């Protein structure tokens, strides 16, 4: 079902978000299918972005908890970053710490943030998120884990990055996951990790967890 309403009161930002959605949906646009390779550099022009419904929930929850410091793995072309940055601005100030390994995508995300006049609310860290998100500089209020498949039998990137950033999430903070990686779900459903978690019926299942311990 297409999203036909938004909680964001910013015509410039809404126009940009709409344009990015249309680019993705256009045949031959960044949503086109191609043979899969595991190298993120092969997809410098593809967003793989969250759905607008997920962005709206991110914005709404960040406003609800008055979030000031948030983080995401990963940023891609900045679609999710725009929702976070708008919430930071509308909360009276704050920073979204982004992460992206493909330099061309970092440049695109920064361009989008500048176009939306939100660049002052974002810090995009270029490189491998397993390094760049190791130190978030203090507790954060919300983390998005929107990862990337890697071949092999080892832990998913979502799980690896979660183990690095989850301890930096404050009690009462939110952890959202886009791709329902089984080992991510195992992590948030293990009570010893301090989360309670719910699967929202959005996309293939959007996991929304709250840190309670």
Q: What is the contact surface with ligand SAM in residues (CB under 6 A)?
A: 40, 47-50, 72, 74-77, 79-80, 99-102, 105, 128-130, 146, 148, 157
Give Cβ neighbours of residue 147 (< 8 Å, ≥ 6 apart): 73, 74, 156, 157, 158, 161, 177, 178, 179, 181, 184
Structural contact between residues 78 and 48, judged by C-beta atoms closer than 8 angstroms: no
Is the Cβ of residue 74 or residue 185 nearer to ligand SAM in the bound state? 74
Q: How many CB atoms within 10 Å of residue 73?
A: 26
**To the nearest whole angstrom, how small is the minimum distance from the Cβ of residue 17 to ligand SAM?**
11
Give the DSSP letter of residue 76: T
**To the nearest whole angstrom, how small is the minimum distance from the Cβ of residue 106 to ligand SAM?**
9
Q: Find, among 111, 115, 50, 43, the residue nearest to 83 by Cα.
A: 50
**Angle 190-73-43 (CA atoms, 0-180°, nearest 5)?**
130
Is the Cβ of residue 152 or residue 213 nearer to ligand SAM in the bound state? 152
Is the Cβ of residue 76 or residue 177 nearer to ligand SAM in the bound state? 76
Is the Cβ of residue 2 or residue 213 nearer to ligand SAM in the bound state? 2
**To the nearest whole angstrom, how small is the minimum distance from the Cβ of residue 83 to ligand SAM?**
8
Is the Cβ of residue 42 or residue 186 nearer to ligand SAM in the bound state? 42
Here the tokens at position 44 are 């410098």
Task: Please report how the helices 52-64 and 11-25 are oriented relative to each other, as an axis angle in degrees rounded to 10.
Answer: 150
**To the nearest whole angstrom, how small is the minimum distance from the Cβ of residue 213 to ligand SAM?**
27
**To the nearest whole angstrom, how small is the minimum distance from the Cβ of residue 191 to ligand SAM?**
28
Q: Is 124 buried (19+), middle (13-18) or exposed (0-12) by CB count in 10 A?
A: buried
């Amino acid at each position: 079902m297409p999203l036909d309403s938004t909680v964001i009161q910013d015509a410039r930002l809404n126009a940009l978000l709409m344009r990015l959605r249309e680019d993705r949906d256009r045949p031959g646009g960044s949503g086109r299918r191609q043979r899969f390779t595991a190298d993120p550099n092969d997809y410098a022009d593809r967003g793989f972005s969250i759905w607008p419904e997920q962005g709206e929930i991110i914005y709404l929850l960040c406003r609800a908890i008055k979030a000031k410091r948030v983080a995401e793995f990963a940023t891609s072309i900045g679609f999710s970053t725009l929702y976070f940055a708008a919430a930071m601005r509308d909360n009276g100030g704050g920073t979204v710490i982004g992460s992206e390994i493909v330099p061309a995508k970092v440049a695109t995300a920064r361009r989008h943030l500048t176009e939306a006049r939100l660049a002052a609310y974002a810090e995009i860290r270029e490189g491998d998120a397993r390094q760049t998100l190791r130190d978030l500089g203090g507790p954060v209020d919300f983390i998005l884990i929107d990862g990337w498949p890697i071949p092999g039998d080892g832990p998913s990137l979502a799980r690896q990055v979660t183990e690095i950033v989850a301890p930096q999430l404050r009690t009462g903070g939110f952890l959202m996951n886009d791709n329902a990686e089984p080992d991510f779900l195992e992590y948030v459903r293990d009570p010893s990790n301090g989360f309670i978690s719910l699967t929202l019926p959005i996309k293939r299942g959007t996991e929304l967890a709250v840190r309670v311990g």
